[in-house]
Every structure is written in C-alpha cells, then in structure tokens.
Structure 1
Amino acid sequence: MAARPLLRSTAATSAPFSSSLSTSCRATSRALRSTLIPFLRPPYRFSGLVGAPRLRPRLSVSLVRAMSSSSVGGFEHSTGPGSLQSQQTLSAGRRRGSVGCPSMVVAALSGLRSAPTSLDDHPFPLTLDYGGPIMRYADGVVDSYFSRYITVREDHRKSSLNPTTTIVAIDLKSRKIEDPKILISGSDFYAFPRVDPTGRKVAWVEWNHPNMPWDRSELWVGYVSDDGDIYKRICVAGCDLHVMESPTEPLWSTEGELFFVTDRGNGYWNVHKWVESNNEVQAIYTLDAEFTSPLWLFGIKTFDFIRKGRGSSCLACTYRQKGRSYFGLLDVVNSSLTLVDIPFTDIRSIIARGRYVCMEGASPTVPLSIGKVILDENCTRAVDFSTVWSSFNSSLEYMSCISTPEMIEFPTEIPGQKAYAYFYPPCNNLYEADPEEKPPLLMKSHGGPTSEARGILDLSIQYWTSRGWAFADVNYGGSTGYGREYRERLLRSWGIVDVSDCCSCAEFLVDTGRVDSKRLCIFGRSAGGYTALACLAFKQIFKAGASLFGVVPPSQARAIYKALKMRGLPVALVEYEDEQHGFRKAENIRFTLEQQMVFFARVLGNMQVVDEISPIHIDNFD
C-alpha cells in the first residue's frame, strides 16, 4: 500500500527563548492530549528563570508559496553590516528582557540568620515591589560570607528598550527591604556572578553592544573589601583586542582556583584555568569540540567538580563534537579526558555532588529527560545510570513509528566547504511506501540565527515523518556547536549563507535520491522564519513555506502578506491575540501545525490529508 501524508494529530513546538518555557510545555501538553495518537507529547525543557514578561501582544504565522523576485512590495534583501548589527542588538536586549523575576522572594536559605526555620514558613520579600516587572533578577548565588545574594539585575525604570544591567548584592541578614547594593556596573550585559569559597573574590562575565556573548565577552575577577565592596578588578580573559574570544561559565574550585570555558587558540570552547599569581590562563584540555553552548539562557552549566571531599582534581563535563554530545571525566592535573558511556547523545546541563552526576539529556530515541550517573569509588567510570524523570515514558512502545535521524554532511556553494543537517526519513509501520515514489520534504531552518539543531526525539518532527514526510533539520553556516569559524560564516551574511546552505541541503537530498524534487517545503521559527521567507523569495528550490513568529513585527508581516496577495501568489496569514515569541497556547500550537500540513498538501497538489480539518482560506488559491 502506498504511503501518503496523513494527519491524525498535532504536536509540540518549543520556544526559542527562555521565557515561560514551563507555560509552553503545559500548553503543548494540553494540545496533544486531545490528539488521536497518544504517544505524541511535548519535549519539555527546564529553565531556571521565571516570571518572564510577554514580548508582543500579537504574533503571526505566514504561509506562502514560493516567490521568485528579489523584492516583494518593498521587502528588500538586506544583509549589510547595519542589518546584522540591528539583529544582534535586538537579540541581546530580548535575551535579557525576556527573562528574570520581577521581585525576589526567599523560602529557605540555610546558614543565614534570617532564614525560615521550617518549610511551613511563608516566603517573604527581599526586594522592593515596583508594581510590575520594572526590576528583574536572574543568575544569582548565595554569598554566605557576607550573608547576601549576588545576582544580575535589570533596571527598567529609565528605559524599557535599553534597561540598565548591573550585578547587585541583596542583604539576607534581616527582613528589612532595601534597594540592593550595586557591586558591578558600566557594561551593557552581565552574567555568571560567582563567589569564591572565601567570599573575598567574585568572578563574572560581561559584554557590550554590538557584540553577542559568543562573539566577544570578558571574564573579570573582583576583590572584595571588608565592607563587601569591589575594590580591585582584574580582567582574566577577553580584554586583549588582538585575541578574539568569548569566555563563559566561571566556576571556583573548593581550593579557590578559577576554571572557565573560552574559545581562544583553536576556536573551540575548551576548559581553561586562571593562574592568579601571574594572571595567566592555562588550557586544561584542548579538543576541537564545544564544552559549552551559546549564552541564550542564564545559568548554563556544562561542567562541575567531583570528588570535592578529596580535592577538586577532576571535572565531570559534557561537550559537543560533530553534532553529538559526550559525557566525560576531565583530570585537570594530568590533562586527560575519560569518556563515560551513557544513553544520552545530547546533554544540556550537568551538576555533580560526590560520585553522583545529574544531567538534562536526550537522544534520537530518548525524549528530554533527567538522568543520574553514579561513578565508582575512584570516579573513573560509571557503575550505574538511571532516568530520574522523563518528559515522555512510552517512547519504546512506539519505536516502530519513530524516525531516527541520519547526520548528513553536504557540500555548500563554496568549493570544499561542508555544512550539516539531520535527515529524518518517513517512518510508520502501518504503511508501506511505493518504491517508485519519493517522499515530500519539509526543511526546518532553526532560529537564532545562532542556535543549533540537536537531533533528539522531537515529537513535532515525528508528527511529519509518521505521516509520510521526510524532514531535514539544518545546521547552516552560522549555527553553534561547530566552533567559531563555523558560526562566524554568518557574520554580515545573514540571509545569504543560511539561505544558500538550506538550498544546498535540499539539492543534496534530491541528488542522493532521498526526497521528491517537486515537493520541497521549508519553515522556520523566529530568525528561521526570515530564512524560510528569503529562500522562497530569492531561490527557486522550495515550492512553499511557512514563517512562524518571524523576526519582523506584525505590521511588517501584514505588509509582506499584502504584497504577496497583490502579486497573485497563494498566501495565508494567521494572527493570534495575546501570544508571544514562541506560541504558548495549546489551541494555537495545534492549529498552526495542522494548517501548515493542510496548506502544503493543497498548494503542492496530488496529496491527501485524511483528517477532518477545516482548512483556512488561501488567497489566490480558493
């Protein structure tokens, strides 16, 4: 029996920003509980940040058939330095502005004089209430020496578009609510305030416009006076204008040594150590792999100390290399790395205590989960691995319907240059495809644009592959996870390199006989939505596409829609009230996914969607 694209349920989309991720998961879960295939549930993601404000009152999704002109009604192809800088500025401000807690409260802080004495005690405020998200706090740590909480603060009192960011200290010695003391100020952005074991040194990361933190940042250490102020500062890494680097993730050992990750030298984020006596930086282990991820979220932690009771000579760490995560034990004395075999091929964050290491991870067949590794007495190998929590506990039951990705390497337009993607073939044990028929392709251009496709069990992808579609998740030039040279391919070329690589990937899949050349579609979220529209406007590869909460405001989305309508191209525009950058409401998530498939099936022709779904009106088509 010939397979054909089916439509029986909806699936999840995950937010590209950290704001209200738990809300997104709950909404997606509600959407999926109403579907007909029970195994489709959302891939959850944890975030330590709460209280995020909504970014826009109205967001839209655009569905269009391929365009051929270099401009559409005034929507010009702009990729110069100015447009890139504007995007960087917007992303930096949005990253900060989309996270944080409008007021700080505490329920229990052990060892502090004013800490509650039981879990029954009510939380009490530590900071002033301004009646809204005017002050926002994130990425804080307890300073037990001075009985205070050191955190990043974003102050919107003077400007909501360009708020003032500082590192502040919140007093924990009494319940008197006062304005926090400003410890560090002067730069546009701050992250990772970390206090050493003595309480007399503080490390932090800072950067300024127009840089993103993965372009250029600085790691500083401040010395703390008896009254708790910073009286001296030393730049550890990032201040040499002749060295392009982006230090991140400072972490103090129990002996007071500062470790961190930076990409100096080989262009990959590797673990380094600061030698305080002569203010030098030493590489602990050099590898063409990324030991951290871009600072899209506060609180990233990809390495931690183990054996703290007997000295901090070993680090539990994770790194990414060629599209896969690895977990290992890094001996910082002998500069040796021992890999530990675990079921996860994608690891986001880790935390270690003694011989126990917990991590957030996944794989092509394991949904996003929390795993626990128990190491042997010498902390040299794993003796046990268990899943503490999983976003979906029945994946093995439906393995026959799960498409596992193939990591592909394809040539770009530049001779000798390669780019990468995950290719998911159609998979459904209830149907057999006609051997003479190639499947349609849906290509995803990820957001960011400096994000990364991860190749894990994503049920929104399985939604398509279980219904006869092939799916490609592209890591175009500019994606993170492949070193500085790779992510800098997009500098001053956004809208060129990403578009070219997506088209090259589609052509590669056609040339290798994997997909039907006449049924190629593309979509993207956020910055990926811009890439999808640019592919349709300036190339002749894709037949149709969708832009979900792209990087333009709603007014420009309407202008694009009107221009396409006037040109006679099949187009539809859907706007949702009270949505965010990353749809949150279950009904909107479901409706968007269903209408994408219906739209593609209709405009491509000769395809049938079997579910009873009322299609939206398509201008210049219906």
Structure 2
Amino acid sequence: MVSGEGVFWLSHEPTLGYAVLDGLREGVRLAGAVEPAAIRSRVNGYGGGALCAGASGLFAVSETQQILRVMPDGSDVTELTREGSGHFGGLVTDDTRSRVLAVREYEGAQSLVAIDDTGQIRTLHLGNDFYSAPAVSADGQRLAWVSWQLPDMPWVESVLWTADVTPDGELANPRCWPSPTQGCIQQPVFEGDQLWVLSDHDGWWQPYRFSERLGQGLWHKDTTVELDHGNAPWQLGERHHCLFAQDGWARVRYHRGVGELWLNHSELLAPVRVAEDWTDFRALRYCEGHLYCIARSATVMDAVLRIDPLTGHIEVLAGGDAPWDDVAPVLPEWFQLPGGDEAVQGFLYTPRDDEEQSWPLILIAHGGPTSAVYPVLNPQIQFWCQRGFAVAEVNYRGSTGAGRVFRMALKGQWGVADVEDMERAADYLAAYGNIDGRRIFIQGRSSGGYTALMALVRSDRFAGGASLYGVSDPMRLRSVTHRFESGYLDWLLGAPGSTGQHWDERTPRYRAANISAPCIFFQGGQDRVVVPEQTRAMVAAIREAGGSPELFWFEDEGHGFRRQENQAAMLEWLHSFYRKHIRKPNEPTENLS
C-alpha cells in the first residue's frame, strides 16, 4: 500500500506464524516500530485487503477482526471497531471524507460499509450475497465494486456496480452492470473520471474501460493480447493492473504460467516489458511518479519493488534476499503436454549434481482447485531437489492463467479431468531425461490432496501419495463448508441428485479399497475447512481395507500449516515416507530406510 506518507506492506513472520505490519517511511524502515500484531482478514475464510493507506491514514484488520488505525510512524495504534462487529476485508480509504471503506461480513450476510474516525459503521449497500473490490474515485464522488450471487463463485460469474456518492457520504443511484456476455469482473480502479476493470466475458481476463451512456454500459477492450491479466480472486484486494496519468498503465500478463509486467506510457507508444527477472507480480500501485508492487522470483525471496516507469530502473525496498548463502536454487523448466487448446502445462525441477542415473519424481497437484502454480521460489521444492528428488507442479484443466474456457473445463469434472491430467503428466515426464517412471509419487494440499487421493483410487500408476489436509469426503465437506464455497462443490462435481451415486464414485473415503499404494496424511486439529474427522475417517477406511496409511497430527494448526517448526516436521516425515517406499531397479524395498 502506498500513500504520501510512505510504502506499507505485510510481512509473514514464520517464527510467529502470522503476518505483521511493515513499511518504509521517509527512508526509515517501519519494522519494529509497531508492536507485533497479527494482521489478517477472515472475510470469506480467505480474507485479503487487510491493509490500506491513504491521506486519511493507515488502516489494518487485526487477527480479532477489529479495524485498526495506525499512525504512519507507528507511534499510535487505535481500535476503531469493537469486538463482535463482524469480519472486515477489502479495505480502501475514502480520503475525501477521512474514512475507510470495507466489505463487512456479519451475521451470515455481507455489505459495503464505511467506518469513520470515531468507529461508527455506516452501511452503504447491501442485498447481494457477496461483495468485493470497492474503489472510490479521487474526487470521492463515485464508487465502484463487484458482487456475485450464490451458488456462483467470483470466477464463474460476477457483475460490476457503480454509484454516486453524496456530500454526506451516502450512495445514490446504484446501478448494476452485467458484462455483455457471461463473465467475471474484478479489480475496478479509477483514474480521473475513467473506470477500468478486468473482465473475462470475451474469453480472457483483460482490461476494459467502462463508461455509461444513455443508461447503457459501454465496455471498451484496451488490448487484443489474448492472455489473462489476473487470476482467480480467492482473496479481496488483489491488484494486477494500475493506471498512470495521461493514459499510462502497468499490467500483469500471464504467459506460459509466468507473470510478466508490462508498462505503457501513452496510447501512442508500444507497451514494454520490465522486471524480466521476476516471474509474478501483485498489489500494483502508482504514487508520485513510481510504480510499486510485490514481486516473486524463481531465485530470491519475495520483494517489494519500486520501479521508475520512464527508465525501468528497479529498486528493491524490502526482501529479495538469496535463500541460502552457499546453494543456488534449482530453476524451473516449463513443460506442456500435447493436447491442442486444452494443453496442460507446468514446471519441472530436477536435482543438481545428483549421483543417481534416474530420479524419483514428486508430482504436485495445486490446491484451489481453481488456482495455479507459478515458477517462483518455493523452499519446500528446493528441499526435495537437494535430496535427490525431481518435482513437477502441474496446471491441470481448471487452473487459472489460460483463459476462461480452460478454467471452466473443470465444471462437473473434478476428480476426473484433473486426475487424467496428472496421470498424463506422469506419463509424459516419465519419458523425460532421467526421471524414473516407476518411482513417481503424487501429493497435494487441500483440494490438491483430493486430486492425489483420486489418482490413487483410479490406478496403480503412482508409487505412493501424500494428502496434506486434503479433501476425502466431498459430501461431508458440502454439509459443513462456509458460505463462500457453499455452491462450489456442486459446480465441481455436479449437483448430487436423488441418489448422489456419482458423488460416491468420486469420494476417496468410499473407494479406499481401490488404493493399493502407500499413503501418508497430515492434518491440523483446528482445521475448519477439511474438518479433522474427515481425515480420520479416510485413514480408518484404508486400514479397514487392509492398507497401512500413516497419519501425522498437528493439534495447533488449521487449514494450512503456519508454524515454522510444524512445516519442518512435516517435510522430515514426508522425506522419510518417500525414502521408505522408493524401490530402485533390482533393489528390494526392505534394504531402504
């Protein structure tokens, strides 16, 4: 977040297990100036937009879901809201009125609200199931936002809203603007009197200039580049594009899984790519002649960058450190499976200077499942490569970054299309160089754990599998999942119908007898998404079928392990599991430890 007061961001503290406020003001680092406090939004379960900065101040959402007002120098922190006020996210400042706007989740519903400097909460708009991405014009006279209705997810169908803002801060003449054809809108931003959004109604998330004429919405696409300029909005507050004065812009384009940063200074000039050493970009902001963003790379840790749009000069404000002093990270190799318009692609990491002539492979199914993998530094992947394993991350059908058709291909096909693509990837990579096709393992987190388990159910292609807090009983998950995803499983699997038979066929727990490969499970005792009982039931079902699954329990973790010591323990146990079940050519399993 950027304002005239400085540059601010959230830094994850692995020793604490949460994100804290950090920043740079007048050349002085803010880190340590504010008492460490967890900053996190819980709206929709995934949060986002927990920090904003503007002329009216610096605001953040605490772990207890209170909105905090923080002095830019860290000298004072004030709770604006009271406990029990709900969950807040998607924060933006309304500098005209010295207030902060937010999405509020309260008593099973959402609304757009404004919070003034006394903590008074004013409801601006309600009546839609979900809200995201409020954006206010610089003069404070217009507001734009995105909403969607159940059972949709925001990457299936959503709509743009605009409204006028009265002098006393109320909304007038709110108007809904569906896209010309079915699509998803995200990330509205104002530049002067112009409103820009990303929409995929023409097949890709591309930038559109939106305007109104005689009561009709006009959508002007600003590029013919058929690439996604954003990814699935799981969280509030994402920003993959921003505007400069005089028609200039900065945008992220996803090409072959890589996030590319492109700049353009005016309509008369051709766009140029900058920061080519970095492979993904988030939180783009422009302030006082400079572009700011969070950037990721395959070789260094995440960084906060300041870029001069005129020269392309990059200054690393924070982060960007080499992960190790004496070991260079293994770099990813892009691969694509044959398949025409539905070609699956991913990234392969191979061991360096390994004595083995053939490598075991860990095939990773990403979570979401409407998400993607990018070629960015992942210390856990480096852990495996340093121990003689190759690793491949796969963007199967349903992943983002390859257009709407590819993303929507998972509708009704979860547990089928994704599994087929993982199996195809295993076969394709088995023919690659030194990878041993007889020693391929599959693993995944959350929904990726479901894909891994269904792959073990469907075939004996894999030497073993790992489920990291993975889904094993979709029907059980459907009955307890939170409101945000309450229609998601029906979209992924198809409505259960009167018998739910096809759900049973795609439920790993009910097909545990088909799993012959060894498997290992990791589960958090505080997980509210994949509840602990689900993993216990899956492990019990495999044991009843004669298998010997391993289960490791972390009572203090939720959905996703945050504590550094728990992450390290999980890796060590996974390593022991994989080593135990590697069978080298002509070598009996019992000789391995």
Query: For 1:407, which of 334, 338, 347 is the aligned residue?
Result: 334
Does the Cα contact within 8 Å between 1:221 and 1:234 map onto a contact in 2?
yes
Alignment CA distance shift 1:148-1:362 (3 Å): closer
Q: What amino acid is aligned across from residue 147 of structure 2 in structure 1? A: E
Q: What amino acid is aligned across from residue 103 of structure 2 in structure 1? A: V
Alignment CA distance shift 1:51-1:366 (3 Å): closer
Could you tell me the TM-score, scaled by structure 1's length?
Answer: 0.73
2:558 maps to 1:580: yes
Does the Cα contact within 8 Å between 2:49 and 2:90 map onto a contact in 1?
no
Which residue in 2 is equivalent to 1:555? 533
Cα deviations by residue, 1:91-114 (Å, 9 ceiling, x for unpaired): x943359975422221348xxxxx
In 2, Cα distance between equivalents of 1:355 and 1:336 = 20
Which residue in 2 is equivalent to 1:94? 45
Which residue in 1 is equivalent to 2:153? 212
2:384 maps to 1:464: yes
Alignment CA distance shift 1:387-1:23 (3 Å): closer
Which residue in 1 is equivalent to 2:232? 294
In 2, Cα distance between equivalents of 1:245 and 1:546 = 35
2:94 maps to 1:143: yes
Say which is worse superposed, 493-502 or 582-591, in terms of deviation. 582-591
In 2, Cα distance between equivalents of 1:375 and 1:49 = 34
More strand by share: 2
Matched position secondary structure for 1:597: helix
Matches for 1:155-234 after TM superposition, within 5 Å: 155-156=106-107, 163-172=108-117, 175=118, 177-178=119-120, 180-234=121-175
Which residue in 2 is equivalent to 1:81? none
Does the Cα contact within 8 Å between 1:342 and 1:385 map onto a contact in 2?
no
2:190 maps to 1:263: no
Which residue in 1 is equivalent to 2:567? 589
Which residue in 2 is equivalent to 1:128? 82
Cα deviations by residue, 1:102-141 (Å, 9 ceiling, x for unpaired): 22221348xxxxxxxx864x333322333xxx51111122
Matched position secondary structure for 1:557: helix
In 2, Cα distance between equivalents of 1:524 and 1:518 = 19
Matches for 1:179-578 after TM superposition, within 5 Å: 180-238=121-179, 243-253=181-191, 255-265=192-202, 267-278=203-214, 279-306=217-244, 308=245, 312-330=246-264, 333-334=267-268, 336-376=270-310, 381-382=311-312, 384-390=313-319, 392-393=321-322, 395=324, 397-399=326-328, 402-411=329-338, 417-428=342-353, 432-434=354-356, 437-551=357-471, 552-578=530-556
Q: What amino acid is aligned across from residue 129 of structure 1 in structure 2? A: E
Q: What amino acid is aligned across from residue 317 of structure 2 in structure 1? A: V
Alignment CA distance shift 1:595-1:574 (3 Å): same
In 1, Cα distance between equivalents of 2:323 and 2:13 = 23
Alignment CA distance shift 1:576-1:233 (3 Å): same
Q: What amino acid is aligned across from residue 300 of structure 1 in structure 2? A: E
Matches for 1:19-30 after TM superposition, within 5 Å: 22-24=12-14, 26-27=16-17
In 1, Cα distance between equivalents of 2:391 and 2:223 = 37
Matched position secondary structure for 1:285: coil
In structure 2, stretches of 5+ residues that fail to align are 1-9, 20-36, 51-60, 472-529
Q: C-alpha displacement at 1:562, in angstroms?
A: 1.2
Q: What amino acid is aligned across from residue 212 of structure 2 in structure 1? A: E
Matched position secondary structure for 1:519: strand
Q: C-alpha displacement at 1:514, in angstroms?
A: 3.8
Alignment CA distance shift 1:558-1:296 (3 Å): same
Q: Percent identity?
A: 28
In 2, Cα distance between equivalents of 1:145 and 1:370 = 28
Matched position secondary structure for 2:237: coil
In 2, Cα distance between equivalents of 1:407 and 1:555 = 38
In 2, Cα distance between equivalents of 1:458 and 1:119 = 32
Q: C-alpha displacement at 1:550, in angstroms?
A: 1.2
In 1, Cα distance between equivalents of 2:105 and 2:393 = 35
In 1, Cα distance between equivalents of 2:74 and 2:345 = 50
In 1, Cα distance between equivalents of 2:290 and 2:418 = 41
Q: What amino acid is aligned across from residue 247 of structure 1 in structure 2? A: I
Q: What amino acid is aligned across from residue 476 of structure 1 in structure 2? A: Y
Does the Cα contact within 8 Å between 1:28 and 1:589 map onto a contact in 2?
no
In 1, Cα distance between equivalents of 2:539 and 2:48 = 29
Does the Cα contact within 8 Å between 1:205 and 1:219 map onto a contact in 2?
yes
Does the Cα contact within 8 Å between 1:549 and 1:582 map onto a contact in 2?
yes
Q: C-alpha displacement at 1:346, in angstroms?
A: 2.0
Say which is worse superposed, 217-226 or 493-502, in terms of deviation. 217-226
Q: What amino acid is aligned across from residue 261 of structure 1 in structure 2? A: L
Q: What amino acid is aligned across from residue 125 of structure 1 in structure 2? A: E
Matched position secondary structure for 1:518: strand
Does the Cα contact within 8 Å between 2:370 and 2:407 map onto a contact in 1?
yes
Matched position secondary structure for 1:367: coil
Q: C-alpha displacement at 1:534, in angstroms?
A: 0.7
Could you tell me the TM-score, scaled by structure 2's length?
Answer: 0.77
In structure 1, stretches of 5+ residues that fail to align are 1-19, 30-47, 54-91, 110-117, 157-162, 608-617
